[in-house]
Amino acid sequence: MSKTRKPVLGKGLSALLQDPNNDSGMSAVNSPMMAFIDPDEVAVNPYQPRTNFDEEALADLAQSISELGIIQPITVRKINDGSYQLVSGERRLRASKLARLTSVPAFVREANDQESLEMALVENIQREDLDPIEIALSYQRLIDEIDLTQESMSKRVGKKRSTITNYLRLLKLHPQVQGALRRREISMGHGRAIMGLEEEEDQIELLVSVLEKSLSVRATEALVRKYLSTEKEIENGKDRLSKKVLNAIDDLEKGLGRNIELKSTKNGSGSIQISFTSTKDLISLKKQLLGE
């Protein structure tokens, strides 16, 4: 007969006090202590990856905290002078101050500067409200400052290596395109499509078209493919012409609702071919072109 093991007392409380932000796997910070501290006594995290804080969203969070309290504790560390420094949870800390709370729940950890940076970066990467460039910069900092490889970073943050690579590639985009991503004027899919153009000038021109015409990601990808194929047919010295031709063909296709094939020569001249499916369709095309 097997011997029944008695349950370990206090295990439930221990589980409740586990910090949900702890995905780093560092032994030095695996046993945080719960405490209630004055939010005004917590210094902001100098390693904070987030740079944009929506004031309206903070006000909404402050209102929620006033009514319900803080559901998820912030994470802090003790520094040399005995004061506290934020590791993660700056939105909650800011909202708590707006709500004029005098104490907030916090996990207190022992962590050095590098561990604090890593915890802050990993915690923020796993949030859903960061813009793509903030995430990309966080990955880059983990590589540059923590010396993580993409493989080890993939395990640490629970993301596929290909996903990490796609984010890092966004940092090669022109600053104006990155700015549009940060303002959420375009999606990451748009950004990845625009990366198909190597010249920064071309990226900016394509960005303008995307914004002006409200192009979908698929339409943006098609425009990039068309640009690249057209560019091959026109000599290097005629770059500007190729872009004008591309935009003209794109406008014609949208206006006529048909595919148009471009044939060009090195001197900049050329022809276009418009397809039709039947005599009736041809007559319809004629009326479109003549405005009948």
The DSSP secondary structure of 162-180, one letter per residue, reads: HHHHHHHHGGGS-HHHHHH
Give the SS3 label for residue 107: strand
Instruction: Exactly one of 41, 56, 67, 90 is catalytic; name it.
Output: 90
* 161 residue type, one letter: R
Give the SS3 label for residue 263: strand
Q: Considering only CA atoms, which of 283, 229, 279, 274 is closest in space to residue 253?
A: 274
> Does the active-site annotation cover 90?
yes
Strands 270-274 and 104-109: unpaired
Cα separation, 240 vs 202, in Å, equals 10
Q: Considering only CA atoms, which of 113, 46, 121, 110 is closest in space to residue 76?
A: 110
Cα separation, 280 vs 185, in Å, equals 42
Cα separation, 65 vs 96, in Å, equals 7
Q: Catalytic residue positions?
A: 90
